[in-house]
Amino acid sequence: MKNPNNQRKIGYLLKTYPKVSETFILNEILALEQKGIELHIFSLNPPSDTKFHSITSKVRAKVTYIPLFFFNKTVHLIRSHFLFFLKNPIGYLYALYFLFNRKEENGYQEFCQAGYLAEELRNSGVSHLHAHSANSPTGVAELVSLLI
């Protein structure tokens, strides 16, 4: 979908998409699309629910699932991090320093996913990343902002 209002493409970073318990996010996505805003959904986890709201099928945004390290796409994850290190070694090392000082439970996983997501953002034309919920998505988005 081309953006008729020449607005930027927005990335939506969610912990799990789709998720039946997060109707408000689904409604928000649909409302933005109805306004002509182009979205790209990034999900840190694939859905675990077996049932979804029927309106989920109305979402036009592309959905990209960010792999977990060692589970799949390992080569892509390593390549993403290597390229970010080469492009900006000081920024990359600062992101690692920031991560180790943050001392959160899933820091290593979030850092791996952040490198992958940062490359996906560059390749997809997303100019703004919106992290929904103050948990893993915001942790990953914070690390992405340090890598880019």
Whether 46 is in a domain gets the answer: yes
Asked if residue 1 is part of any domain, the answer here is no
74-to-41, 62, 79, 87, 112 alpha-carbon distances in Å: 21, 22, 8, 20, 10
3 in a structural domain: no
Mean pLDDT of 46-69: 88
* pLDDT > 90: percent of the chain: 45
Q: How many domains is the chain built from?
A: 1
Residue 37 domain boundaries: 10-147
pTM score, whole prediction: 0.84
For residues 27 and 54, is the Cβ–Cβ distance under 8 A? no
Q: Mean pLDDT across the stretch 96-117?
A: 84
Residue 110: other Cβ atoms inside 10 A: 24
What's the rounded mean pLDDT across residues 56-65? Answer: 94
Residue 5 has pLDDT above 70, yes or no: no
Instruction: Look at residue 2 and tell me if it is in a domain.
Output: no
More confident residue, 111 or 42: 42
- Domain-embedded: residue 95: yes
Alpha helices of 60-105 — where are they, by DSSP H?
74-87, 89-102
Residue 31 belongs to domain with CATH number: 3.40.50
As a whole number, mean pLDDT of residues 25-40 equals 95
pLDDT greater at residue 1 or residue 66: 66
